[in-house]
């Protein structure tokens, strides 16, 4: 095999050319949203300026904070530089999801990451229908691209189908969409693109990328044949990507783009505390574990978190175990009750309930009476306070209670830390999110170039 026949791959060639064109990107590389603006405005702006795409983390923020973020990001980017905003499913408080959709429509946000959806919701359907127009060729096209993060085939299937007719009819009857908008939506999928999320930091179904990605690509191909959509739905890969080797595996499996998460939490631009970044910089691949998810505590949903040097995972699991075994705080033995108040909460149940009750009086007073009549629901909310509290401790870097930090993270960051040992990126204060993205993409291109050269050499022999 002569030197002229070696395939030379450039980082800007990786992934789908259509995906890069649709999002106006240099690289098929995306950073996902992380709640409470850990995926910050600075992070999103840095990605946009480097020709990549970042989604701002809206989870846990007020509509006013989200609107301010849109204005700030847009003010720092040019019209050709892309940015995205996160839309979280909120089955507990649907009004918040609806308000976020209103914001995105009013500000004409063109890239939206739909996350944590287990089913299609009315507000998501409204967003889909309100952001469609008819092209000069006569077929519908989106003015805002919806990228759905999914980890289960049945959820992917829902996003690969047109909007559910029952929800469309509901929106029509209420005057929230027009007949013309409904008609356009009948030949478009709920999502323009899918991101397949394998085991990852935060909420996770602990899926295996090597099984999920091929299965989801097959689902996409079947949907394209069935519905004959005018535009191809891109399928990307996320979860466990922290090195060029992992990125190369995703592209070889057929991913149109890759999305990273955990590795971006340990960067200069990430909106968490220096204390958390110091911990994350030291972690290895074995330093994570699973704990109950505070926002879906009663359902037993799990999140992947950092465990090295932290008490949070064990304490969170203990609280869920007590919730399963007891119908109210009164059933918990005195020794355990005292341990939770003195060691876990560092305040009494009464103080925690006072704070929680005041929140519900403001946010959802209609539910409060039912909660106060039900000892198990009251116990759940008191326990859930701990999850909110531990997130705040981590975000602010509270040194007095640093063993209680709740830090969502996957082993991809441990792999990244090993990859950058002995380089300029070993210290997090030199880790800039765009530089990480470019380094991974260029490293991936070099790996794949060598891989193809190796295949050619084997064939020649």
Q: State whether 145 and 95 are in the same domain.
A: yes
C-beta neighbour count of 457 within 10 angstroms:
11
Q: State whether 283 and 162 are in the same domain.
A: no
- Sign of the alpha-carbon torsion through 442, 29, 243, 194: negative
Question: Of 404, 431, 451, which marks where a domain is finished?
Answer: 404
CA distance 385 to 212: 34
Contact 451, 244 (CB under 8 A): no
Domains of the chain: total? 2
Q: State whether 284 and 256 are in the same domain.
A: no
**CATH number, domain at 65?**
3.20.20.70
Does residue 444 fall inside a structural domain? no
User: Whose CA is closest to 140, among 182, 93, 202?
Assistant: 182
Q: State whether 246 and 307 are in the same domain.
A: no
Domain of 114, in residue numbers: 3-272
- Residue 81, CB-side half-sphere exposure with 13 Å CA sphere: 15
Does residue 219 fall inside a structural domain? yes
Does residue 340 fall inside a structural domain? yes
Contact 201, 263 (CB under 8 A): no
Q: What is the pLDDT along the chain (461 residues), one digit of tens a residue?
A: 454 567 899 999 999 999 999 999 999 999 999 999 999 999 999 999 999 999 999 999 999 999 999 999 999 999 899 999 999 998 877 889 999 999 999 999 999 999 999 999 999 999 999 999 998 888 899 999 999 999 999 999 999 999 999 999 999 999 999 999 999 999 999 999 999 999 998 888 888 999 999 999 999 999 999 999 999 999 999 999 999 999 999 999 999 999 999 999 999 999 999 999 999 999 999 999 999 999 889 988 899 999 999 999 999 999 999 999 999 999 999 999 999 999 999 999 999 999 999 988 887 788 888 899 999 999 999 999 999 999 999 999 999 999 999 999 999 999 999 999 999 999 999 999 999 999 999 999 999 999 988 875 454 33
Does residue 421 fall inside a structural domain? no
What does the radius of gyration of the chain's CA atoms come to, in whole angstroms? 23
CA distance 181 to 185: 6
pTM over 0.85: yes
Structure tokens at 133: 């127009």
Does residue 414 fall inside a structural domain? no
Question: Of 272, 303, 322, which marks where a domain is finished?
Answer: 272
């Amino acid at each position: 095999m002569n030197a002229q026949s070696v395939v030379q791959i450039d980082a800007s060639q990786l992934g789908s050319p259509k995906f890069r064109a649709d999002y106006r990107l240099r690289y098929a590389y995306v950073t996902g949203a992380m709640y409470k603006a850990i995926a910050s405005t600075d992070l999103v702006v840095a990605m946009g300026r480097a020709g990549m795409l970042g989604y701002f983390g809206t989870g846990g923020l007020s509509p006013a904070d989200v609107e301010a973020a849109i204005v700030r990001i847009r003010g720092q980017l040019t019209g050709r530089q892309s940015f995205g905003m996160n839309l979280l499913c909120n089955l507990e408080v649907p009004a918040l999801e609806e308000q976020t959709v209103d914001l995105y429509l009013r500000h004409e946000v063109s890239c939206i990451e739909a996350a944590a959806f287990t089913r299609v919701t009315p507000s998501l359907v409204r967003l889909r229908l309100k952001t469609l127009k008819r092209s000069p060729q006569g077929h519908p096209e989106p003015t805002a691209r919806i990228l759905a993060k999914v980890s289960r085939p049945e959820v992917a299937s829902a996003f690969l189908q047109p909007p559910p007719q029952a929800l469309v009819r509901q929106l029509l009857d209420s005057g929230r969409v027009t007949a013309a908008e409904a008609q356009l939506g009948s030949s478009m999928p709920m999502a323009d693109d899918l991101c397949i999320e394998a085991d990852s930091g935060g909420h996770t179904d602990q899926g295996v990328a090597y099984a999920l990605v091929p299965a989801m690509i097959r689902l996409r191909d079947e949907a394209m044949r069935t519905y004959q959509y005018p535009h191809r739905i891109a399928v990307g890969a996320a979860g466990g990507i922290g090195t060029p080797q992992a990125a190369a595996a995703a592209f070889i499996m057929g991913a149109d783009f890759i999305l990273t998460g955990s590795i971006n939490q340990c960067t200069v631009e990430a909106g968490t505390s220096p204390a958390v970044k110091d911990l994350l910089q030291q972690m290895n691949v074995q330093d994570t574990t699973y704990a109950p998810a505070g926002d879906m505590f009663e359902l037993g949903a799990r999140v992947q978190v950092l465990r090295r040097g932290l008490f949070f995972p064990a304490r969170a699991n203990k609280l869920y175990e007590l919730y399963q075994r007891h119908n109210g705080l009164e059933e918990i033995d005195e020794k355990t009750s005292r341990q939770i108040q003195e060691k876990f909460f560092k305040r009494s149940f009464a103080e925690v309930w006072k704070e929680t009750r005041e929140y519900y009086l403001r946010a959802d007073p209609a539910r409060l009476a039912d909660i106060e009549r039900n000892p198990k629901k009251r116990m759940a909310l008191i326990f859930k306070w701990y999850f909110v509290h531990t997130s705040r401790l981590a975000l602010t870097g509270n040194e007095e209670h640093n063993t209680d930090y709740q830090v969502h993270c996957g082993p991809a960051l441990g792999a990244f830390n090993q990859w950058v040992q002995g380089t300029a990126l070993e210290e997090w204060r030199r880790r800039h999110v765009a530089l990480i993205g470019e380094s991974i993409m260029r490293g991936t291109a070099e790996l794949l170039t060598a891989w193809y050269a190796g295949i050619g050499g084997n064939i020649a022999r």
